[in-house]
Structure 1
């Protein structure tokens, strides 16, 4: 029998295994991943940003975990020889209304104890000549890293400490007994004293099949990116973000230098018709039937119809996408946007139609399900792993 089983080989599951192996040396730990590679879904399709946490409500899980995660991620990379960069981030205001919102964002950053610097239009242009705006907020500690590489380093630590990783096996359900949990997959099973489920895009389904009380559903949202032509990879030095609109659920399209040298533009946030279908126009009938039959989906759509149409337009028409980019980077042309990988966000939605923006957990005596791990989950993975361990044993 194993002491701990972690279902899901993304960065959150691997960080939980890492935390356990450090807190309980000698514990028997197994990670079970349904894909052939670790970090195959949200972790491996992320923008790679090490967030500072300026957007998040003070005292929220997001804010507290992000601040700790930014420090921990960089320290882990330093300890394990993983390259990362800290180019910083500019949040750019393009009109007077956005300047007012920028001021509110600066107050929020101060409440989260995050250092940032206000720039006027001249200072912005001096630092980033290709960017157009009337002011900006500079967050110098924001970084970039390859989270798939971080995940592999976490996995290496686990196996060096005696842990096991099983690939290409999909767990179907968990059966909790008085002193252990049976982990059931097709033609295979395991037993563990505790199970941590980090199933990402399938988190609600695994929780339901395992007997948890689930009052939400994961609805997939596609984040579609472009990369700028290689000769434009040095167009900006820093990440360039728009000022978020509080009426909209996502941050908007931004420019991000990547560790592989690419400069990406994106993402949008368009409803996905397949939880794990990355090519454009992917459709999974089971996934579509699930959200069409969920009352929270229709309430969400009713409250965001205009934004949804706008995002769909950006997805279908490259020129509409370009116009969002040109708001703060006016020199960009249609031919500058080259294909890049797509990500899919596992967005938990309540039955009342509310997007759940913070981390969410379901727990019994021997199971802990990470049911919503939105951005900045990758940044926050190491402190989330420690918190999972603490929560699991705090319930004893």
Structure 2
């Protein structure tokens, strides 16, 4: 099998939104340097990018000064501009973050403080204003974040593919990377679609980013642990219960935001997700198991320490996975009128979460270089929102090294 783009100057591994955004940014910065994207699936955006709620995040949650906070704010503006210029529908609909109990008000205030530091406008509101924005939501207080939006990230990816190809690049599907060989001034990437050679490589392999990094000789301290998020669709007769986006006040010690309601840009309302250990990196079904990957997760000391630290919250997430009634009860804290018959199972997703050996979750985006290879090792939410800015920063790193 031959290299389909023999003069490629950059190879990007992974056809999710971060990989495609990086390739597009590179083609913008260096229009005379062809780029090739290798995606192991038959189409782009088939995993994390195409299996999320489609929220354009405002950046209100993130630690001020963190890469998440900076890239989310800048990436949001770039994403909205890209969508406008390329005919991708999006909507700035706003959301409410609801405190359902007085004990959560202090956490809500801290979120607002972070929003101020991050330059994200929000308004502290009481039950009366909450009832105007979301008539069926219940809470003692809330934050209204008007800049939050919704979009179909898969459609963004399809436009990115068009742009990359117009610049002379290629997006090769069915190209699972099997080996990476570092040579003098070039990197040879072996894949199921052939061998590809370029001076530089960017690893945006998502759920397999740590394994691809190892192929290039890097031994990252963090390991990807897959967490499955399960969703329900709200039945049409219950759509009136949710106008836009309704979120709970999250636990600041846990990286997941809790089950929430999201109006989708294509219609309908999605409810969820919970967060449970996936039995395989692409184990979307509850009984989908890859024993090698599962043993790898369970035997990793970092995961064991994480599980011990958060066992109570983890047990609650598992119970909601097993019991629809428990899931409904969690949702009904936000919208009391929700009933079990309003919910039908929807397509699940899997989050690639980097975990350190000491059991700490990598809370920020993590990008490490290893010679001619740049590895995006942790890019959880809001990576889709921030993707164009992440891509820009990766390209700046390539240009500087």
Q: TM tier, shorter chain?
A: over 0.9
| RMSD of equivalent CA atoms | 1.1
| Per-residue CA distance 1:345-386 (angstroms, 9 max, x = gap) | 001111111111211112123110111101000000000010
Report if aligned partners of 1:233, 1:261 keep a CA contact under 8 Å in 2.
no
2-side partners of 1:186 and 1:111: how far apart? Answer: 47
Report if aligned partners of 1:87, 1:237 keep a CA contact under 8 Å in 2.
no
**TM-score, structure 2 length as denominator?**
0.96
| 1:92 aligned residue | 98
SS at match of 1:379: helix
Report if aligned partners of 1:131, 1:329 keep a CA contact under 8 Å in 2.
yes
2-side partners of 1:248 and 1:360: how far apart? Answer: 18
Report if aligned partners of 1:212, 1:362 keep a CA contact under 8 Å in 2.
no
2-side partners of 1:79 and 1:247: how far apart? Answer: 39
Q: Aligned to 1:245, which of 248, 251, 254?
A: 251
SS at match of 1:182: strand
2-side partners of 1:200 and 1:127: how far apart? Answer: 36
Q: Aligned to 2:11, which of 5, 17, 29?
A: 5
2-side partners of 1:331 and 1:86: how far apart? Answer: 26
Whether 1:130 and 2:136 are equivalent positions in the alignment is yes
Q: CA deviation at 1:290?
A: 1.1
Report if aligned partners of 2:241, 2:335 keep a CA contact under 8 Å in 1.
no
Report if aligned partners of 2:216, 2:373 keep a CA contact under 8 Å in 1.
no
Q: Aligned to 2:204, which of 198, 201, 204?
A: 198
Query: How does 1:220-369 map onto structure 2 within 5 Å?
Result: 220-369=226-375
Q: CA deviation at 1:235?
A: 2.0
Report if aligned partners of 1:252, 1:267 keep a CA contact under 8 Å in 2.
yes
Aligned residues: 395
SS at match of 1:213: coil
Q: CA deviation at 1:280?
A: 2.4
Report if aligned partners of 1:234, 1:263 keep a CA contact under 8 Å in 2.
no
Q: Aligned to 1:68, which of 52, 70, 74?
A: 74
| 1:36 aligned residue | 42
Report if aligned partners of 2:58, 2:72 keep a CA contact under 8 Å in 1.
yes
Runs of 4+ in 1 over 4 A off after TM superposition: none
Larger displacement relative to structure 2 (278-287 or 373-382): 278-287
| Per-residue CA distance 1:8-53 (angstroms, 9 max, x = gap) | 1000000001001100012111111000010010000011000000
Q: CA deviation at 1:186?
A: 4.0
Report if aligned partners of 2:221, 2:356 keep a CA contact under 8 Å in 1.
yes
Q: CA deviation at 1:178?
A: 2.6
SS at match of 1:215: coil
**TM-score, structure 1 length as denominator?**
0.98
Name structure 1 gaps, 5 residues minimum: none
